[in-house]
Amino acid sequence: MRPPAGGTTRLLYGAGLAAALLLPAAAPAQAAPPSRSPAALPAADGPKGQELPGMPTALDPRAETVACTPASKEEAKKQDWSRQRLDLDRLHRHTTGAGVTVALISTGVDPGAEGLDGRVTVQGQAADDCVGQGTFLAGLIAGTGGSTARLAGVAPSARILALRGTDRRGEPDSTLVTAAVRAATAAKADVIAVAVALPRKEAALTRAVAEARKAGAVVVAAATPDPPSRGSGDEIPSRTYWPAGEPGVLAVADMLPGGTRPDGALSTDTVDLAAPGAGVVSGGPRGKGHYLGGGTAVATAYAAGAAAAVRATHPDDPADALTRRLTATAYPADIPQLDAYAAVTTVLGAAGAPAAGPERAAEPVAVRDTSDTDRATGRATLFVLLGSAGVLSLLWAGFALTRARARGWRPAGAGATES
C-alpha cells in the first residue's frame, strides 16, 4: 500500500514556491530610489478636489449686457497639485523673482487684487478686468497668496505690467495683442506672457515679437486657444497659432496631473513646453476668495513665472539662453514638462544640456549621503541570495520527502531483488 503524502509536506512545498517568487521582487523594491514620475504626485485637494467656483476664460459674447465674474465666497484650504508639481516651496528659497517685470497680455489685471501688493502697473483699459482671468493669471505669476502663503505664485516678488489683448468680454483681438507686445517692449519688460492664441499670422504681430526678442525679452505664449465650449477639439484640424508660432517664442501647452493633455485639447505641432493647466487655484479681481482655473493660459502663466525666476537668478544671460534653460531642464516626456526648480538651480553645459559631474546647482547644495542606502542595498542583495538558496533547498527537501514516502521509505531499486 502507498502511504499518502502528508498535508504538512504539501504546505511546505507551496510556501517555499511562493517565497521563491516573492523574495527576489520584494528586496530590491526596498532599495530602489523614489520615482520621479509626475503621476506619483497626488493632488493636494484629495480625490474630490476643492469646491471653488470656476474662473471663466471669456464671457458670453451673445449676452446683451456684460455681467462681470462675481467675487468668490470660497477660500482654498490647501495647496493645489500644480504648486507641488512645480516645487514652489523649495524654489522660493532660491528666488522670488525680485527685480523682474512680467508683461501679462490677457483680459487685464486689477491692481488692488489680493496678494499683488501694489506691484501691478496697468496701461490703457487693463485695470478693468471684467472676466477675471488676467488677475487669476497674475496671481500664478507673481501673487503672494495673501493670507495663504502656500498659494503664492512662481515669482511672488516680481512686478506685473498689465496689458489688454482682448475686449472686455475676453475675446482675443490681434490689433490689441500687437499693440500690447509693442507697449511691453517699450516698457523694457523682462518677460512678455501672451495668454491668448490667434488663428492667423499677421505681419504687424510678427514684427512686434521680433522687436521684443531683439530688445532682450523672453516671450512666452499659449500654444493653442482653449477648445470651444461646444464640440470636440478632435473636430478641429491641427494647426499653428500665433504668436506662439513665431521664431524664438516659448509655446506652452496645458497638462493634467498625470502629464497628459486634457481631453478635447486643440492640436498643434508648435509646443515647446507643458505646464500645469487643470484644477489650479488662484484669486480674482473682486474679493479675497479663490477660483479654480485651467487651460493653456494658466500653463502660460506658470511658464512666464518660471521665466521670471530664471531671469532673476541669471540676469546676464540672453533671452534665448533663458528660454533654452526652461526647455533643457524640463521633465523629459513627449512634451517636456516645466520644472521651475531645476530651471533655476541646474548648471547647464555649453550646448544647453545639464552639465555632467557632481555640481548641478547654481550654488553649493548638500549632496545626499548614500552610504547607508548602499549598505542596505548590499544587505538586501545578500538576503535575496541566501533566501533563494534556502528556498531551493526547502523545495528539494520537500520533493525528495514526497518521493521517498511514495516508495514506502525504501531506497530506489530496493524492490527489484525480490522475485
Give SS3 for 20. Answer: helix
Using the 3D structure, point to which of 292, 312, 345 is the last residue of a domain. Answer: 345
Helix axes 296-313, 133-142, angle to 10 degrees: 30
pLDDT of residue 404: 56
CATH number of the domain that 340 lies in?
3.40.50.200
pLDDT of residue 377: 42
Residues 157 and 290 in one domain: yes
The domain of 402 spans: 7-32+370-410
pLDDT of residue 231: 52
Residues 28 and 59 in one domain: no
- Examine residue 228 and state whether it is found in any structural domain, yes or no: yes
Count of domains observed in the chain:
2
Per-10-residue mean pLDDT of the chain, 419 residues long, equals 44 43 39 32 47 94 92 93 96 98 98 95 97 98 93 98 98 98 98 98 98 98 87 74 98 96 93 97 95 97 98 97 97 96 90 54 34 44 56 61 58 47
Q: Give the residue carrying C-alpha cell 538576503.
A: 383
Residues 298 and 401 in one domain: no
CB 76 within 8 A of CB 43: no
| Cβ density class 266-305: b for 16+ within 10 Å, e for less | bbbebbbbbbbbbbbbbbbbbebbbbbbbbbbbbbbbbbb
pLDDT of residue 41: 33
pLDDT of residue 349: 78
Residues 340 and 405 in one domain: no
- Examine residue 361 and state whether it is found in any structural domain, yes or no: no
- Examine residue 85 and state whether it is found in any structural domain, yes or no: yes
pLDDT of residue 390: 62
pLDDT of residue 51: 84
- Examine residue 49 and state whether it is found in any structural domain, yes or no: no
pLDDT of residue 282: 97
